[in-house]
Structure 1
Amino acid sequence: MTIGDPLLGVLLDGRYRVEQRIAVGGMSTVYRGTDTRLDRAVALKVMHPSLAGDADFTARFIREAKAVARLAHPNVVNVLDQGADPRAVFMAMEYVPGRTLRDLLRDRGALSVRAALDVLEPVLAALGAAHRAGLVHRDVKPENVLITDNGLVKVADFGLVRIMGAADSSTTAATEAGQLLGTVSYLAPEQISQNAPADQRVDVYAAGILLYEMLTGAKPHTGENAAQVMYRHLHEDVPAPSRTAPAVGRELDALVAAATARDPQARPWDAVELLAAVQRVRRTLPAAQLDAEPPASGRPTPQFGPGEATAVISAPSGLERTSVLDVPPELLPPIRPVDENLPPRRRRAARGRSRSRTPLIWSAVVLVVVLLVGGVTYTLSSAVYATVPSVLGQSRQQAVTVLDKQGLHGTFSEQFSESVQAGQVISTDPGVGAKVRKSDAVKVVVSRGPERVPVPQVTSRPLAEASKALTDARLTAGTTTEQFSDSVPKGAVISTDPAAGTALAPNSPVALTVSKGMHPVPDVSGMSRDDAAKALQDAGFTPQIAGLLPFGKVTEQSPAAGTPRPQGSTVTITISLF
């Protein structure tokens, strides 16, 4: 793709080194490069040499750079610089590694409703920022929607951007009558018929086509050539996407129908209004509908790898490339010539009426743009985003009320807490002060109070079995002591501390007393009468002496030494002189 490209390795404007050609559009080529001054990757959009000598195209190119440079929005590809040298007219832009929405649709076909809305909402947020700043994109299509490696969606290529209401040689989208610039599959009817200026609602129309294509995996209007497609835009409504993808539902059919109405007056006024409608519909859709798999017919076999995307990506089909299109005469409105029979003064007035209004229009536009630019950030952010308020320590109902005042809604879950009282909010995700889209739920965790588990009953159970029972109850076996027992078998648990049934925090230790079995009879043979009696008593036995001699040694004992016997049992000892 890059063999023989004369710009490869060139240092533009003494600063930007051209390294790799990555995309070709109808009016420009995009290269990956390096800003040698700041040592960072950039995308370099270079106007085609055949157009660089055209003053109108050069002015359009520079206007794009200036227009996008003032759109500070996370979903718009940032313009960093613009320049020219003897070899090229170019602009340096943010480099966006990832791929285009066109790549995604080629690989996956139709998307689920949730995935389609996840892409559409940031696209509308970006277009809304442009519209509220008085700018119209005029070339919204999957090739100009970039999806970064971490899932961020960005709108690129404002190459056909224009200021609303401004006089422009391309107001009719062409350099001369009967021609227009754009991508035919996404052109609004008024762009084709040229019977009205292209305002922000042409972007709304293209966004509706974009939504249809994401939901169905196909464009609504197709044809063998551009003229056929343009005719269908003018004379046929976009079909309901549910005809192809039944899981889409009537709510999204209505959204597509509103956005793609052939009469621009019937569409949402701008992308901000459409975004609000999308978010309202999204809140009403159940999870099963949002995540329903699209029909298999909308999932083609992948033909292209994801590659990398930058500010402009071209498609192989001629119908997908931004280009100068010839509009068939039968699609154009009739031209009303000036009546030459009018008096000269009226003829001049008829010819010059639009020119006489131009300074006034420009003055009004400049004033409106200045006012809009100052308030666009606040207006758009308040319409699309909100700041997560502090609801920590509040009850669930209080949290619902506070979130609702910010235009947010929460999904609630419960969690045990040793420090937060039951029923009060422990945390939110995103955290307090974070910016969040109003369509996204704030995850709110409410305290269930401290968690407690009861000590299980493990007496008379073997030590190993008792330890496992404690582990299963989310407690731990603590210190173990041994003790003789007349009733508990050797090696079994006699008691626990705390006792069974006591409520403890998880992982608390429980002390165990384990039976050593019954007491063995001590060996008292050879002892004196008094010593033997004391030894037996100390061991818990009752001595019984056979013989009346007050002196002598123990010669016999019964039971024998070492025999296990219950405490209190009688042990008989025999005293003999020999």
Structure 2
Amino acid sequence: MAVGMPPATEQWAPRGGSFDIRRILPSAFGRLPAMPSKLLRGMGCMAYTLLVFVIFALAAYTSFSVFVRSGATTVPSVEGMSQTDAANVLADQGLALRIAEGRGRYDDKVPADLVARQSPDAKSFVKRGSTVNVVLSRGPRRVTVPDLRAKTLPLAQAGLSGTGLALGRILEALAPHREAPGSVIEQDPDPNASVPPATGVDLLLAMAAPGERYVMPDLVYRHYDQVRPTFEARGFKLGSIKFERYEGVAAGVILRQFPLPGHPVSREDAISLVVATADGAP
């Protein structure tokens, strides 16, 4: 027969002594008295935290209510408006407009004479009767184009750099009025034009004009004594003059020439001639 637990009516105890359940669960019996104390402390902390939150919420609500009842209003946005329109919009909210001292500020997005900045900012809460300071726009920053005509390219570049402008395209053309080569004939934009900073200024420079060119006439069989004074009177230079005997041709008649007839010639070019001499001449 299997050995089991003793009957309920019997007092069971282990061998060697009486039975004590606290020896089996000593830790549980040791903590039982401490559990109610920690629970109470936790509930007290929660109650204190809840009380502080309620007091803070009531104080915030009361302050906001007093603030609203005292005549507070929201600042409207007046940026981008004219001075008159901004003053009217602020007056509708019981606020006053004041223009900030100074000449305003440059603004690339807001046209001149419109409100560029405001303080306090839009949607801020202020009391009625408060003042809103605004700064008027002076529009985009502009610079005046200097007069670069008759200046050399280095001087023109220095003038543009000093005014915050950039050098644009550079073109060349023959000077119509004999301007110095390399000097500025025209510019775009024109002098004294008002342009944004860093605008490029195109320059037209004078080119060195080539000498005047003429068509060389046919001098063969013409008399040298007639040709020479005519050319010298017009500024042409006669270079090498050679004399040769040529049968059947009178002395002083031009036999050959350089440049050849029809070729271009300038006053700087030397004209060479071969002239016939009389029979028996060296």
TM-score relative to the length of structure 2: 0.50
Query: Which residue in 1 is equivalent to 2:194?
Result: 503
Q: Does 1:554 align with 2:241?
A: no
- Are 2:166 and 2:200, in contact at CA under 8 Å, matched by a contact in 1? yes
Q: Distance in 2 between matches of 1:487 and 1:523?
A: 17
Residue 576 (structure 1) aligned to one of 254, 273, 277? 273
Q: Distance in 2 between matches of 1:459 and 1:514?
A: 9
Displacement of 1:560 after TM fit?
3.5
1:550/1:387 CA distance change after superposition, 3 Å: farther
Q: Does 1:491 align with 2:196?
A: no
- Are 1:388 and 1:436, in contact at CA under 8 Å, matched by a contact in 2? yes
Q: Distance in 1 between matches of 2:115 and 2:207?
A: 51
Q: Distance in 2 between matches of 1:394 and 1:53?
A: 60
Residue type of the alignment partner of 2:162: D
Larger radius of gyration: 2
Q: Distance in 1 between matches of 2:167 and 2:256?
A: 52
Residue 55 (structure 2) aligned to one of 46, 55, 67? 67
Query: Which residue in 2 is equivalent to 1:399?
Result: 86
Q: Does 1:464 align with 2:154?
A: yes
1:416-449 Cα deviation digits (max 9, x unpaired):
45675542224546654x3255599755332334
Q: Distance in 2 between matches of 1:382 and 1:469?
A: 63
1:464/1:545 CA distance change after superposition, 3 Å: closer
Displacement of 1:495 after TM fit?
2.7
1:373-402 Cα deviation digits (max 9, x unpaired):
xxx645435759642313244332442453
Query: Which residue in 2 is equivalent to 1:253?
Result: none
Q: Distance in 1 between matches of 2:165 and 2:151?
A: 17
Displacement of 1:512 after TM fit?
0.9
Q: Does 1:478 align with 2:154?
A: no
Secondary structure of the 1:470 match is helix
Query: Which residue in 2 is equivalent to 1:390?
Result: 77
Residue 513 (structure 1) aligned to one of 193, 201, 204? 204
Q: Distance in 2 between matches of 1:382 and 1:428?
A: 26
Query: Which residue in 2 is equivalent to 1:424?
Result: 114
Secondary structure of the 2:259 match is strand
- Are 1:389 and 1:402, in contact at CA under 8 Å, matched by a contact in 2? yes
1:304-343 Cα deviation digits (max 9, x unpaired):
xxxxxxxxxxxxxxxxxxxxxxxxxxxxxxxxxxxxxxxx
Q: Distance in 2 between matches of 1:575 and 1:528?
A: 12
1:180-195 maps to which residues of 2 (within 5 A)?
Answer: none
- Are 2:257 and 2:271, in contact at CA under 8 Å, matched by a contact in 1? no
- Are 2:185 and 2:205, in contact at CA under 8 Å, matched by a contact in 1? yes
Pick the structure with more helix per residue: 1
1:41-88 Cα deviation digits (max 9, x unpaired):
xxxxxxxx9x95997x986554213222x36xxxxxxxxxxxxxxxxx
How large is the Cα RMSD of the aligned pairs? 4.7
Displacement of 1:484 after TM fit?
4.3
Q: Distance in 1 between matches of 2:55 and 2:254?
A: 123
- Are 2:95 and 2:132, in contact at CA under 8 Å, matched by a contact in 1? no
Query: Which residue in 2 is equivalent to 1:435?
Result: 124
- Are 1:529 and 1:554, in contact at CA under 8 Å, matched by a contact in 2? no
Q: Does 1:444 align with 2:157?
A: no
- Are 2:236 and 2:267, in contact at CA under 8 Å, matched by a contact in 1? no
Aligned-residue identity in percent: 25
- Are 1:491 and 1:516, in contact at CA under 8 Å, matched by a contact in 2? yes
Q: Distance in 2 between matches of 1:377 and 1:496?
A: 66
1:94-493 maps to which residues of 2 (within 5 A)?
Answer: 129-130=59-60, 133=62, 377=64, 379-380=66-67, 386-403=73-90, 405-407=93-95, 410=98, 412=100, 414-416=104-106, 421-428=111-118, 432=122, 434-437=123-126, 442=132, 444-449=134-139, 451-485=141-175, 487-493=178-184
1:477/1:53 CA distance change after superposition, 3 Å: closer
Q: Distance in 1 between matches of 2:237 and 2:42?
A: 133
1:544-575 Cα deviation digits (max 9, x unpaired):
667896984328x77536xxxxxxxxxxx636
Displacement of 1:489 after TM fit?
3.5
1:82-119 Cα deviation digits (max 9, x unpaired):
xxxxxxxxxxxxxxxxxxxxxxxxxxxxxxxxxxxxxx
Residue type of the alignment partner of 2:273: S
Displacement of 1:480 after TM fit?
0.8
Q: How many residues align?
A: 200
Q: Distance in 2 between matches of 1:382 and 1:403?
A: 20
Displacement of 1:469 after TM fit?
1.3
Ranges in structure 1 where 5+ consecutive residues have no aligned partner:
1-48, 72-128, 134-375, 531-542, 562-572
1:378/1:487 CA distance change after superposition, 3 Å: farther
Q: Distance in 2 between matches of 1:550 and 1:391?
A: 96
- Are 1:529 and 1:551, in contact at CA under 8 Å, matched by a contact in 2? no
- Are 1:391 and 1:399, in contact at CA under 8 Å, matched by a contact in 2? yes
Q: Distance in 2 between matches of 1:416 and 1:550?
A: 81
TM-score relative to the length of structure 1: 0.28
